[in-house]
């Protein structure tokens, strides 16, 4: 079993720390992220609120824990959907060629020419303030990268002598994909998935920061930042909590994706 590089180990540790906070944090310290207590507004940390309270007296810890479940889940679902679509269509384009390849490549290039956030905003305009809108928009943006990677790698693999020999021996397309194509493109797909997840989380937070996307009082990383920004002098820890959590998650995903061994 190959050993983890130090960079990837740090990335995995950051991701696990964020996942622990989001999943097990509310189990260890029970609380309601929507419960308000104006008497505690902008108060500092205490036993049941280790990160203090926001401007409405809601516990930052429990709101952050729910936000760390919401954004990554949406991002992962979008990446899985986009990865499956890109893998299927990229393999089809490389294997069939001809007008199918030209049609799919033209479609991918057309979507690539549009700003990614614009496509997400269009989907959010159709389904405002919902996770469904984010999922559909991010999937529409991310599948292009998976398609381009799969198409390029599959074309090279299909031209290799090993694949030609397997074809002469009568092996079908599923065998060729499982034995020859997938082992070649799997590392690329996993790296693209990590980068895609980071991109999706950053997009969700960015749109929340400008009041587009999830609506209050839903705990979401970008929305938490914009809500707490006016109170950064009175409660700097409250604002730093979602900022540092977002930074740690994005840094962890980037380190994991960028440290792939050849």
Q: Can you tell me the distance from the alpha carbon of 220 to that of 176, in angstroms, rounded to the nearest whole number? A: 43
CA 254 vs CA 130, 140, 229: distances in Å: 27, 22, 26
CA 86 vs CA 91, 150, 196: distances in Å: 8, 7, 12
What's the mean pLDDT in 13-24? 90
- Residue 60: predicted pLDDT: 92
Question: With pLDDT > 70 as the criterion, what percentage of the chain qualifies?
Answer: 97
User: Is-contact 90 150, C-beta < 8 A?
Assistant: yes
| DSSP-based three-state secondary structure for 3 | coil
Minimal CA–CA distance to 51: which of 69, 65, 37?
A: 65
Please determine, for residue 261, whether its predicted confidence score (pLDDT) is greater than 80.
Answer: no
Q: Can you tell me the distance from the alpha carbon of 150 to that of 88, in angstroms, rounded to the nearest whole number? A: 8
Please determine, for residue 127, whether its predicted confidence score (pLDDT) is greater than 80.
Answer: no
Residue 40 lies in a domain: no
Task: For residue 138, give the CATH number of its domain.
Answer: 1.10.3720.10
Please determine, for residue 260, whether its predicted confidence score (pLDDT) is greater than 70.
Answer: no
More confident position, 260 or 249: 249
Contacts of 191 (CB under 8 A, 6+ apart): 257, 258, 260
What's the mean pLDDT in 223-236? 87
| DSSP-based three-state secondary structure for 130 | coil
Contacts of 31 (CB under 8 A, 6+ apart): 48, 49, 59, 61, 62
Residue 42 lies in a domain: no
Residue 37 lies in a domain: no
pLDDT in tens, 130-185: 788 889 889 988 999 999 999 988 888 888 888 888 878 777 778 888 888 888 88
Q: Can you tell me the distance from the alpha carbon of 13 to that of 18, in angstroms, rounded to the nearest whole number? A: 9
CA 176 vs CA 61, 83, 161, 169, 237: distances in Å: 50, 19, 12, 11, 54
- Residue 87: predicted pLDDT: 92
Residue 198 lies in a domain: yes
Minimal CA–CA distance to 138: which of 218, 215, 197?
A: 197
User: Is-contact 20 50, C-beta < 8 A?
Assistant: no
- Residue 6: predicted pLDDT: 84
Residue 33 lies in a domain: no
Give the count of domains, the chain: 1
Average pLDDT, the chain: 86
Name the residue with tokens 């990268």: 145
Q: Can you tell me the distance from the alpha carbon of 52 to that of 64, in angstroms, rounded to the nearest whole number? A: 11
- Residue 47: predicted pLDDT: 83
pLDDT in tens, 44-97: 888 888 988 988 889 999 999 999 988 889 999 999 999 999 999 999 998 888
pLDDT in tens, 115-126: 777 888 888 878
- Residue 79: predicted pLDDT: 94
Question: With pLDDT > 90 as the criterion, what percentage of the chain qualifies?
Answer: 19
Please determine, for residue 262, whether its predicted confidence score (pLDDT) is greater than 70.
Answer: no
pLDDT band at 129; cut points 50, 70, 90: low
Residue 1 lies in a domain: no
Residue 246 lies in a domain: yes
- Residue 168: predicted pLDDT: 81
What is the span of the domain harbouring residue 213? 6-28+54-258
More confident position, 114 or 42: 42
Residue 123 lies in a domain: yes
- Residue 3: predicted pLDDT: 58
User: Is-contact 22 65, C-beta < 8 A?
Assistant: yes
- Residue 77: predicted pLDDT: 93
């Amino acid at each position: 079993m190959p050993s983890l590089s130090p960079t990837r180990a740090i990335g995995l540790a950051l991701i696990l720390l964020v996942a622990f906070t989001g999943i097990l944090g509310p189990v260890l310290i029970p609380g309601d992220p929507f419960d308000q207590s104006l008497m505690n507004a902008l108060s500092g940390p205490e036993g049941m609120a280790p990160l203090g309270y926001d401007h409405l007296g809601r516990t930052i810890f429990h709101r952050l824990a729910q936000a760390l479940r919401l954004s990554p889940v949406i991002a992962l679902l979008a990446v899985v959907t986009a990865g499956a679509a890109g893998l299927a269509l990229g393999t089809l384009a490389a294997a069939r060629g001809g007008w199918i390849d030209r049609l799919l490549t033209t479609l991918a290039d057309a979507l690539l020419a549009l700003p990614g956030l614009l496509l997400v905003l269009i989907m959010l305009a159709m389904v405002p303030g919902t996770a469904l809108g984010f999922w559909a928009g991010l999937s529409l943006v991310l599948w292009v990268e998976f398609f381009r990677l799969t198409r390029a790698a599959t074309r090279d693999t299909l031209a290799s002598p090993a694949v030609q020999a397997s074809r002469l021996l009568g092996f079908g397309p599923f065998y060729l994909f499982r034995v020859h194509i997938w082992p070649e493109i799997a590392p690329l797909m996993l790296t693209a998935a990590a980068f895609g997840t980071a991109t999706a989380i950053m997009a969700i937070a960015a749109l929340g920061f400008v009041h587009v996307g999830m609506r209050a009082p839903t705990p979401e990383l970008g929305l938490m930042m914009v809500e707490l920004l006016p109170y950064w002098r009175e409660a700097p820890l409250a604002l730093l909590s979602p900022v540092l959590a977002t930074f740690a998650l994005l840094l962890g995903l980037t380190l994991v994706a960028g440290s792939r061994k050849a």
